[in-house]
Amino acid sequence: MQIFVGLGNPGGEYAGNRHNIGFMAVDRIAEDHSFGPWKSRFLGRVAEGRLGGDKVLLLKPDTYMNRSGQSVGEAMRFYKLEADDVTVFHDELDLAPGKCRVKTGGGHAGHNGLRSIHGHIGEAYHRVRLGIGHPGRKELVSGYVLHDFAKADADWLEPLLTGIGQGAPELAAGDSARFLNAVALRVAPPRSSTSPKAKAPTRAGPAAAAPSEPEEDTRTPLQKLADRFR
């Protein structure tokens, strides 16, 4: 069994925030793979289902971002799981909007949700880092992440969530490369070539043929003279 955790803040006023993209990701997985109804449990909301051959518990902590580890720790201990069985979906300032990366272990880079999870289960869990971009200055970060996505962000956000839903079984199976490929195919689908094909040279008749070398004149001077008066 695995736990897929989406990070965010509970409450309707936060639902569209950039900080809540983790909630959005697990919501899409639940929808696309017909998970059971959301229920209150482990200081959060959970939904159970399967991704391929793997049983997965989706978890959205209701403890607010900076105490997310309490909810994750309770669920992990109840099912007697290890940190390696936990995957956390979270917003990532250091990635451009729409970018997605998978990482295991390492630091929390100042993310309050990850900081809390580190404190409760250690750092050896998996993360799906969902790029939201950076506002440019450190003092703007708090307002930026707690602000709703702009309407224009739907151009990359919807394909990103669609790719996450489609690739979730591969992620559960431990194949992060195929998961990331599923996301990339939605966010940046390959473009068909629209440039005109080079046309093959056409023949314009005999004039198109390369000129042949002139034949050597082997006539004698007397023959040349005679030919001139014919």
* Inter-residue contact 67 to 117 (CB < 8 Å): no
Q: Is 111 exposed, middle or buried (0-12, 13-18, 19+ CB in 10 A)?
A: buried
Using CA atoms, how far residue 214 sits from 54, 153, 211, 220, 226, in Å, is 81, 71, 9, 18, 22
Q: For residue 156, give the amino acid letter.
A: W
Tell me how crowded residue 169 is: count the other CB atoms within 10 A of its CB: 21
Tell me how crowded residue 91 is: count the other CB atoms within 10 A of its CB: 24
Active site residue 19: yes
* Inter-residue contact 125 to 84 (CB < 8 Å): yes
* Phi, psi torsion values for 92, nearest 5 degrees: -135, 110
- Distance CA(153)–CA(130), nearest Å, equals 13
- β-pairing, 2-6 with 86-92? parallel
Q: Which of 19, 90, 111, 126 is catalytic?
A: 19
Using CA atoms, how far residue 91 sits from 2, 41, 150, in Å, is 21, 23, 15
Tell me how crowded residue 153 is: count the other CB atoms within 10 A of its CB: 17
Residues with catalytic function: 19
